[in-house]
Structure 1
C-alpha cells in the first residue's frame, strides 16, 4: 500500500503527464526549436541557429545568404516573382542561404555552400530518405527538399513533430511551417559534419549530366551547374565517350547521386588513382 506522501506524489506526476502537451501540441504556437529527440549535437545546433533567425523576424530575400561568407545578405529581384521587388532592400536569406548559415554556425565550417540541389547531394551526407519514407525516420536537423532529381528548388530544416523552419518566399519572414508532403516533396538528407569518407574528387565544366547508367543514352539524373566536389565509390570501363577534345571509356559511380558520370569531367587522370573497379 502506498504511503500518503507517495500517493500524493503519484497523483501529481499523473496530473503533470495529463496536462503537459506532447511535442506536436507544444509546437502549435509556432515556436521554433528542436521538437523531437535523437538528433546529433551538430544538428540540434543547426536547428538553434535557424530558429534564432526566425525569432529575429528576418526576411526571405531571393539570393540572400549566398555572400562570400555564410550569413544574411541583401537579396535580388527574382524576374519570375513580382513580390521580390523589395528583396534588394532587405537583409535576409533564401531557403538554401538559411540552411548554409545554420550548418556553418553549428559546425564552424562552411560545409553547405550552394543551392538546394548541391546541399541535398552533398558529400557530407550521413543518410538519405525518399518521399515514400515519410517523416517517420527523420530527426531534427535533417534537410527536406522539394522538386525532382534534376531540379531541387526548395530546402528546409526539419524540427521534428511534422514541423520545419524555412525561408519560403519573397514578401514573407522566415517561418515555422507544417511539412508539406503533398506538394512536390522529394525526400531528405541527414548531414554528417565530420571528415568525408571515400574517394573525393572535383569535377570541371558546366552543365555536366550524371546518368542512371554508364551510357550517354541513359536517363539524366542531375547536372552539375559548375565545378563540384564529389565522392566516387568505384569506376568501370563502359561506353567510350568523346567530349571537349578528350576520349575515355571510364565511368565513375557517385553514391550521393546514385548515378554515373564519365571520367572525362573528373579532374585527374583518365583512370582515377586508388579508386576500385565497380563489381556491378
Structure 2
C-alpha cells in the first residue's frame, strides 16, 4: 500500500457517479433537425430564455451569474449527457453510457452536461474559477457554503443560485440551481435537454446550500485515501454519514479527544468535527499532525 502523505488512509468503499451534463451554446435550429435512423426522437423544444432567470430578488452577483450561465444552456438546447462536464476544465464534454439507464445509449455522441457538470460550469463562469469541481455530493458539502438549509426549511428562505440536492446523507444523486418561485434549472436525465422545472420537494429532497467565494469560517484540511467515512459521533460504532470518494478539502470547526482509532499502523484518539457534513472524522484520515494545528478544542 502507498505510504500516506503524512500518515494514513481509510478503507471503506464507495462508488462515485457523476450526475449532470451540459453543452456549449448550439443553435436551436440544429436542436430541431430530424434525427438519423435509429436515433431517439428529439426532446421537446427547450423553454425560451425568458423562462429561465432569477425569479426573486436578493441573490448575490455570483449567484445571479451562475443562474445566467445555466440559463444560457437552456436557451441553447444543450443535451443532458451522463458524465458530461467533468473534463479537466469546466465546460461541456461528451458523455458516457450509464449501465443503469438504457436512455443513455446516445450520450457518448452528445456534447453536454450531467447535473453536477452543469453546476460546475455555471459557477465557474460566474466566479472565474473552478470552485465546484466534483459530483453532486462534493458540491453540496463544499467548504464554500455560506448557508445550509434542510428539507424541513422548504423553499421560503432560498434565493436564486442556491443549490438544491436530492438523495441521502450517504449518497446524494442529483443537484440543481434554484431560480426562485419554486422553479429550478437542471440537467435531469439522459434523453432530455437542460431544462427549467418545478422543484420536487417530495421524495428524497435533501436540502440546499448557498455558495460564497468569501472567507472560510474554520480551517481547511485535505483528506486522503478513498472511502473514508464520517461518523455521527466521534466513535467507530457511530452511524456512518458520508464517505469521501477520494481526497477532499474539508472545513474543520474543532477537534476533541475521544475513542482511539488504529489504522495503517497509527493510533490516534483525536477526532475533528466537520460542520459542512455535520459529522466527525478521525484525524488519522486528515493530512497533518495527529492534533491539528490552530484548530480549537471542541466544547
TM-score, normalised with respect to structure 2: 0.83
Bigger relative contact order (CA 8 A; separation at least 6): 2
Alignment map for 1:29-40 (pairs within 5 Å): 31-40=51-60
1:140 aligns with 2:160: yes
CA contact (8 A) 2:233 2:280 kept: yes
What displacement does 1:262 show? 0.1
Contact 1:39 1:139 in 2 (8 A): yes
Counterpart of 1:7? none
TM superposition shift of 1:30: 7.5
* Corresponding residue for residue 177 of structure 1: 197
- CA offset digits 1:177-223 (Å, max 9, x no partner): 00000131010000012233320000011000000000000011000
1:48-59 equivalences in 2 (<5 Å):
48-59=68-79
Secondary structure of the equivalent of 1:39? coil
Distance, in Å, in 1 between the alignment partners of 2:152 and 2:97 is 35
Residues 79, 239 of structure 1: alpha-carbon distance in 2 compared, 3 angstrom cutoff = same
Matches within 5 A, 1:28-177: 31-177=51-197
- In the other structure, the counterpart of 2:290 is 270
- How big is the shift at 1:106? 0.4
Give per-residue Cα distances to partners, 1:91-121, cap 9 Å, x unaligned: 0000000000000000001110000000000
Alignment CA distance shift 1:30-1:181 (3 Å): farther
1:184-199 pair list within 5 angstroms: 184-199=204-219
- Of stretches 188-197 and 198-207 in structure 1, the one that deviates more from structure 2 is 188-197
Contact 1:43/1:106 (8 A) holds in 2 = yes
The match for 1:250 among 267, 270, 287 is: 270
Mapped contact 1:64–1:97 kept (Cα < 8 A): yes
Instruction: Supply the distance in 2 between the matched residues of 1:203 and 1:148 (Cα, whole angstroms).
Output: 21
RMSD over aligned Cα atoms: 1.3
Alignment partner, residue 242 of structure 2: 222
Q: Which runs of 4+ in 1 moved over 3 A?
A: 27-30
Contact (CA 8 Å) 1:30, 1:176: kept in 2 or not?
no
Pair member with larger Rg: 1
Deviations 1:14-54 (A, max 9, x none): xxxxxxxxxxxxx9997111100010011000000000011
Structure 2 residue ranges without an equivalent (≥5)? 1-46
Q: 1:210 aligns with which of 195, 208, 230?
A: 230
Aligned length: 253
Counterpart for residue 259 of structure 1: 279
Distance in 2, Cα, partners of 1:164 & 1:30: 13
